[in-house]
Amino acid sequence: MILTRIVDPTAEPVSISGVKRSLRISHYQDDEFLTDLIKEARQFIGDRWGRIYLEETWTQVMDADELPEFKLDILKYPLSSITSITYTDTNGDSQTFSSSLYTVDTTRYPGIVYPSYLQLWPFVRSYPSAMTVTFVAGYADVDSIPMPMLKAMHYYVGHYNENRLAPPADQNDRLLSTLRSLLGMPLREIKDDD
């Protein structure tokens, strides 16, 4: 399964002035660096844990052997809407699965898509990238984003502002532990080989 961000949000969920206030920075020399860290924090949290701040458009591409029997989990949260579901049929032609044939539940984590009553998923060619779901995930506005998620971004930016030569975030256990806690994630990530 391949998840790809295809449209970024129109704005960042935290402002440079808000970050500078929380970090007690009054000068402007590091504004460009802090702006880059804000974007990096949003992308890192979205890519690593699937938590999306403001609405972004994504694709979730699945091989034929990855397709669900019933429900399809959309691995970015919160799910706002499904834009389209396309697939390669058994003849090798690209088709669009009609939105009248499936139901979307955006209230769950993760959001799910499942065939409507008395419907089935389409038959697809046994092929890589057999189905693509294009969807929008994220909150409609900044006021809807839970405060701990915003704090996670501030923490990430503050950490790398103070520790500019620190190892990458995915190699920093203390940073990861704090971010997981703020995002409401399990403190220990489950790996396939556990």
User: What is the tens place of the pLDDT at every residue in 80-118?
Assistant: 999 999 999 999 999 999 999 999 999 988 899 999 999
Q: Is 191 domain-assigned?
A: no
Q: Write down the pLDDT at residue 135.
A: 98
Task: Report whether pLDDT(186) > 70.
Answer: no
Which among 53, 21, 15 is positioned nearest to 37, based on CA atoms? 15
Q: Residue range 73-85: average pLDDT? A: 96
Structure token pair of residue 50: 């699937």
Question: Amino acid identity, residue 153?
Answer: M
119 shares a domain with 153: no
Number of compact structural domains in the chain: 2
- Parent domain of 175: 2-54+142-182
* CA distances, 191 to each of 4, 75, 138, 188, 194 (Å): 21, 16, 25, 9, 5
> Do 113 and 62 belong to one domain?
yes
- Specify the pLDDT at position 188: 46
Q: Are 76 and 50 found together in one domain?
A: no
Q: What are the tokens at 60? A: 């979730």
**Cβ atoms 168, 40 nearer than 8 A:** no
Check whether residue 50 and residue 146 sit in a common domain. Answer: yes
DSSP assignment, residue 24?
A: T
Are 116 and 146 members of one domain? no
Q: How confident is the model at residue 19 (pLDDT cuts 50, 70, 90)?
A: very high
What pLDDT sits at residue 87? 96
Co-location of 109 and 160 in the same domain: no
DSSP state of 142: G
* Same domain flag for 29 and 125: no
Q: What is the amino acid identity at position 143?
A: D
Same domain, 158 and 129: no
Examine the domain organization and report whether 73 and 123 are in the same domain.
yes
Interatomic CA distance for residues 14 and 156, integer angstroms: 12
Does residue 194 form part of some domain?
no
Residue 141 Cα distances to 40, 46, 51, 83, 152, angstroms: 19, 16, 15, 19, 17
Residues 6+ apart with CB under 8 A from 122: 87, 89, 95, 97
What is the pTM (predicted TM-score) of this model?
A: 0.85
- Give the mean pLDDT of 138-156: 94
Between 72-76, 141-145, 180-184, the lowest mean confidence (pLDDT) is in 180-184
98 domain-assigned = yes
Average pLDDT, the chain: 90
133 shares a domain with 64: yes
Instruction: Please indicate, yes or no, whether residues 73 and 128 belong to a single structural domain of this protein.
Output: yes
Q: 106 and 34 share a domain?
A: no
